[in-house]
Amino acid sequence: MAETAPRPAILISRVLPEESLRLARSRADVDLHSGDRPLPREELVARLRGRPGLVCLITDTIDEPLLAACPDLRVVSNVAVGFNNIDVAAATRRGVVVTNTPDVLTETTADFTWTLLMATARRLIEADRYVREGKFTQWELMVLLGGDVHGKTLGVLGFGRIGRAVARRALGFNMRVLYHDASPAVGAVEQELRASAADLETLLRESDFVTVHTPLLPETHHLINARTLTLMKKTAYLINASRGPVVEEAALAQALKEGWIAGAGLDVYEHEPKVHPELLGLPNVVLAPHIASASHDTRIQMANLAVENCLAVLEGRTPPTPVNPEVLTRR
Ligand code: GLV
């Protein structure tokens, strides 16, 4: 009689969609943290004893000391495309596979970037408030004027999957697209998206909308700061749906208050979930609580992919989307 392989044990650090939990439970013994706050570190360590798999969120910090305290851990599966909450180099040194959830959220995140961009330029949140406060008592020619989007220049910082999906949508608005990325796109992509590579200064000086899509790396930390903000047009808007610390929030608050730029749309914050107190009082910034990938379908796909990644590693297969595939070939 063929022996059945033992079911792997995994910890899921926060509640996932029902479908993803069913998938996990069909192939693993699941310890689910069902609380609505991240597990405190000591509890995370305790619950990872004897469990080689972790499915976690960006609110879980997986650093070297945690990895050192969890010798049974073999895979950390993040339910996100970004993985700056995980010390990947430390995981690689310890032979722990790290996975993320790219692709499945690209289009949804690009949609939301445009939601923020349009809402910011056309002052949608202020307009909504205006109506609710009973101020819409007559049509007026000069009320709630915003910036045009069509025909303007869009500057995309970080021209990966999401940056490109954002640029593709700009074709419909007949915009000129500039992009800046450490590795320039091939000619065919530039032609298809009608996008041109630019150095950072040129992009900032010439764009009417600057949208940030870089990962958070030492090189991108505070990429947008007091100096780079002053390079932008006074009529320009900054949109950030990538990672908060790419923008120096205090400098942005000053720029918005003093009119160095016209406005900003933010989905992410430097010290998330804290928001710089000055931003909260400014009318020319639209604030969202890190929801760019938050559509029903996409969040289910992200969670399913994360579970699949985790189970694949523990079942001895190559996970669909590893971050440090070199660990797999070392085994
Ligand atoms: C969300 O921020 C993600 O990285 O997927």
Q: Is the Cβ atom of 293 under 6 angstroms away from ligand 1? A: yes
Whether pLDDT at 46 is above 90: yes
Could you report the per-residue pLDDT of 127-162, keeping only the tens digit for each? 999 999 999 999 999 999 999 999 999 999 999 999
Instruction: Single out the residue of 227, 222, 264, 230 nearest to residue 247, CA to CA.
Output: 222
Pocket test for ligand 1, best of 55, 56, 98, 105 (most atoms within 8 A of CB): 105
Taking the C-alpha atoms of residue 122 and residue 284, their distance in angstroms, rounded to an integer, is 10
Q: State the pLDDT at residue 6.
A: 86
Q: Residue with the nearest Cα to atom 4 of ligand 1? A: 82
Q: Which pair of structure tokens corresponds to residue 213?
A: 């899509």
Calculate how far, in angstroms, residue 131's C-alpha sits from the geometric centre of ligand 1. Answer: 33
Q: Determine whether the shortest distance from the Cβ of 109 to ligand 1 is under 6 A.
A: no
Q: Is 147 helix (H, G, I), strand (E, B) or coil?
A: coil
Tell me what pLDDT residue 330 has: 74
Name the 3-class secondary structure at 245: helix
> 118 and 252 in one domain?
yes
Residues 261, 233 contacting (CB under 8 angstroms): yes
Is the pLDDT at 114 greater than 70? The verdict is yes
Mean pLDDT of 58-71: 98
Residues 55, 79 contacting (CB under 8 angstroms): yes
Where do we find the tokens 């000086």?
Answer: 205
Q: Is residue 4 in a domain?
A: no
Q: What percent of the chain has pLDDT over 70?
A: 99
pLDDT tens string 272-303 = 999 999 999 999 999 999 999 999 999 999 99
Residue 227 lies in a domain: yes
Do the beta carbons of residue 114 and residue 91 sit within 8 Å?
no
Contact partners, residue 226, CB within 8 Å, separation at least 6: 248, 251, 254, 255
Are the CB atoms for 261 and 285 separated by under 8 Å? no
SS3 239: strand
294 φ/ψ angles, rounded to the nearest 5 degrees: -85, 60
Interval between CA 81 and ligand 1 midpoint (Å):
5
Tell me the HSE value of 82 on the side-chain side, using a 13 A CA sphere.
23
Any atom of ligand 1 within 6 Å of the Cβ of 80: yes
Average pLDDT over residues 68-82: 98
Q: Yes or no: say if 146 and 123 are a contact pair by the CB < 8 Å rule.
A: yes
Q: Ligand 1: which of 56, 78, 81 to mutate, judged by most atoms within 8 Å of the beta carbon?
A: 81
Domain shared by 52 and 161, yes or no: no
Ligand 1: distance of its center to the CA of 170 in Å? 22
Residue owning the nearest CA to atom 5 of ligand 1: 80
Is a pLDDT exceeding 70 seen at residue 3? no
Domain count of the fold of the chain: 2
Burial of residue 97, with CB atoms counted within 10 A of its CB: 0-12 exposed, 13-18 middle, 19 or more buried? buried
- Reported as a single tens digit per residue, the pLDDT across 186-222 is 999 999 999 999 999 999 999 999 999 999 999 999 9
Write the CA distances from 314 to 45, 53, 277, 326, integer angstroms.
Answer: 19, 7, 44, 16
CA of 74 to the centre of ligand 1 (A): 22
* Per-residue buried b or exposed e for 233-266, using 16+ beta carbons within 10 Å of the residue's own CB: beebbbbbbbbbbbbbbebbbebbeeebbbbbbb
- The residue segments making up the domain with residue 51 are 9-103+296-330
| Torsion angle of the four alpha carbons 242, 321, 294, 223, in this order, in degrees rounded to the nearest 10 | 0
- Domain for residue 326, yes or no? yes
Probe ligand 1: pick from 109, 116, 162, 269, max atoms within 8 Å of CB? 109
Could you tell me if 74 and 162 lie in one domain? Answer: no
**Catalytic annotation, residues:** 243, 272, 290
Q: How far is the CA of 315 from the centre of ligand 1 (A)?
A: 26
Query: For position 2, what pLDDT does the model report?
Result: 57
User: Is there a single domain that holds both residue 153 and residue 29?
Assistant: no
Ligand 1 within 6 A of CB of 162: no
Nearest CA to ligand 1 atom 1: 80
105 CB less than 6 Å from ligand 1?
A: yes
- What CATH number is associated with residue 40? 3.40.50.720
Q: List the structure tokens of 214.
A: 């870089």
Query: Do residues 65 and 210 share a domain?
Result: no
One domain, residues 69 and 129: no
Residue 215, ligand 1, Cβ within 6 A? no
My answer on whether 273 and 324 are in the same domain is no
Task: Point out the ligand 1 atom lying closest to the alpha carbon of residue 80.
Answer: 5
Calculate the average pLDDT of the chain.
97
Q: Which atom of ligand 1 has the smallest separation from the CA of 79? A: 5
Whether the pLDDT of residue 318 is over 80: the answer is: yes
- 33 C-alpha vs ligand 1 centroid, how far in Å? 20
- Whether residues 41 and 126 fall in one domain: no
Question: Given this model, what pLDDT does residue 331 score?
Answer: 67
Residue 242 CA, closest ligand 1 atom number: 2
Tell me if 86 is assigned to some domain.
Answer: yes
Distance from Cα 55 to the centre of ligand 1, integer Å: 14
Q: What is the pLDDT of residue 203?
A: 98
